[in-house]
Amino acid sequence: MAGIVMFGKNSNTGPSPGLWGLAPRDVMYDKATAYGMSWPIGLPVMATTAAVISGGSGWIGFGDTGAAAVSGQQDDELGGAYAIASDADNEGASISGGVAPFVLTKAAQDFFFEARVKVSATTTLDIGFFVGLMDTTACTNAIPITQAGALADVNAVGFQYIEADTVTFDTIYKADGVTAVQVKDAAGAIAAATYLKLGMLVQKGVLTFFLNGVPLADTKTLPDATGTDFPADVNLRPVVAMLHGTGQAGDMTTSWLHAYQLRA
């Protein structure tokens, strides 16, 4: 099938042809073909005190005490970008889907995800983040990232950058009540103030992670919808979350996120 992004380079600022070229052309636009979520569209304004705010458009923002969010004026991004931050000391912020429409199982329909993100600093114990899918557990300053920098006890799959790491991120999944599993430790490189496009693709029951439009070698064959260490028995939603280490400051910026799953 022809893809929505048929031409261009994976290295540009838009969705990666290497990933979205595998999707039907109308995956983001035809509700009969797929269902999904995108930003930046109607994102919530973050409060300056600990709060959860609905954007009225299917997205929820969480901001810890001292949290801040600035939209539409980051860098030279076409259409703007969205930066989230807090005021340090194990505090965080996040944007998550207000609904959880996605199911990832061996028999699930094709799923496509990509987000373009960056962090302002990568010094030790400065910023940690999680980008991917999570269950409907409410985001806090310890969910989906604990104050120790680990993935919280939730159902999740995606990309984790640990505060103690300075140059790499991991691909990871977890079912609640079960130890998290790294698909690949140090799956890709990260640098301060440098955008990454983090993607996931599920086709024929196999989960493949993408970095800047290029598939990573380590994949995960999905189980059936039964209780395992993979969150195959729950609905999932997109989430971008960051957490500061003690005494640190900085922000995480997302210029866009797309998540879509084909209909049966």
| More confident site: 123 or 167 | 167
pLDDT tens across 208-261, in order?
A: 999 999 999 999 999 988 878 999 999 999 999 998 876 677 788 888 899 999
Report the range of poorest mean pLDDT among 68-82, 99-113, 221-235.
Answer: 68-82
pLDDT the model gives residue 243? 87
Tokens for 191?
């640098």
pTM for the whole structure: 0.91
* Res. 81 pLDDT band, cuts 50 70 90: confident
> How far, in Å, CA of 190 to CA of 199, rounded?
15
Does residue 45 have a pLDDT over 50? no
Tokens for 1?
């099938």
> How far, in Å, CA of 40 to CA of 78, rounded?
11
Mean pLDDT of the chain: 84
Structural domain spans, the chain:
37-262
Does residue 55 have a pLDDT over 70? no
Task: Report which of 135, 104, 132 is spatially closest to residue 207, judged by C-alpha positions.
Answer: 104
What number does CATH give the domain 37-262? Answer: 2.60.120.200
Task: Report which of 139, 52, 7, 202 is spatially closest to residue 131, judged by C-alpha positions.
Answer: 139
Question: Which residues make Cβ contacts (< 8 Å) with residue 240, sequence separation at least 6?
Answer: 84, 94, 95, 96, 115, 117, 129, 130, 131, 252, 254, 257
